Amino acid sequence: MTRLRLAILISGRGSNMEALLRAARDPAYPAEPVLVLSNRPDAAGLQFAEAAGVAALAIDHKTYGKDREAFEFHVDSTLRGAGVEVIALAGFMRVLTPWFVKRWEGRMINIHPSLLPKYKGLDTHQRALDAGDTEAGCTVHWVSAGVDEGEIIAQARVPILPGDTAETLAARTLPAEHKLYPEALAKACAVIAAR
Ligand code: GAR
């Protein structure tokens, strides 16, 4: 089986990245992590990736000021230089331009902490609580030009319990993300490989 060359893009803690790296330790997993890239040099996840033996680097978006495309051009050329075939966004908190999305169309997926199409964007858990929802969850989807709007690959649900805060709900959702993301990435790899 050919494993697709995987890049994981992060901005911070990187716990979903860790879940993907763990899954990919299995030689039968359909993706092989070749690069972890952060837009923030202080992202904790970079150290974990390095310790796990995966190339890890930061491209600091602040260096580019408001020039999103120049930042993305550097990211794109780095990914292509590493021979990347599939991208998993894992807590990558930069909105990508249509140019970058188009370049990686059908090869880039994202995890989002809500049951899309509900609660695109930020503060998903607080918004679910404010709406009086009885369940929350997470979604893995293909990345398309609209933020958090691409076709859904997989979802996982968690209950909302009395007394929940955004923090307790996030803490309940995160383990569901860690289980869902490796499964959904494997599905995405199967789709890519079948093209
Ligand atoms: C995760 O909950 C992920 O779903 C969310 O950020 C967190 C990153 O945690 N992503 C988004 O909100 C994207 N819009 P992690 O760095 O520990 O994986």
182-194: per-residue pLDDT in tens? 999 999 999 999 9
CATH topology of domain 4-194: Rossmann fold (3.40.50)
Mutate to test the pocket of ligand 1, among 174, 179, 181 (most ligand atoms within 8 A of CB): 174
27-64 confidence digits (pLDDT tens):
999 999 999 999 999 999 999 999 999 999 999 999 99
* Distance of alpha carbon 96 from alpha carbon 57, whole angstroms: 18
CA of 113 from ligand 1 middle (Å) equals: 7
- Annotated catalytic residue: which of 61, 112, 141, 178? 112
Q: What is the pLDDT of residue 113?
A: 98
What ligand 1 atom has the least distance to the C-alpha of 177? 4
Give the nearest ligand 1 atom to 138 CA.
Answer: 4
Report the relative pairing of strands 108-112 and 135-142 from DSSP bridges.
Answer: antiparallel
Tell me the CA–centroid distance for residue 190 and ligand 1, in Å.
24
Angle between helices 166-193 and 15-23 (to 10 degrees): 40
Distance CA 8, CA 190 (A): 18
Residue nearest to atom 8 of ligand 1 (CA): 91
Ligand 1 centre to CA of 1 (Å) is 30
The terminus-to-terminus CA distance of the chain in angstroms comes to: 15
Average pLDDT of the residues in 101-123: 98
Q: Is the pLDDT of residue 1 over 90?
A: no
CA–CA separation, 195 vs 189, rounded Å?
A: 10
Tell me what the mean pLDDT of segment 115-129 comes to: 98
d(CA 95, CA 97): 7
> Is 141 annotated in the active site?
no
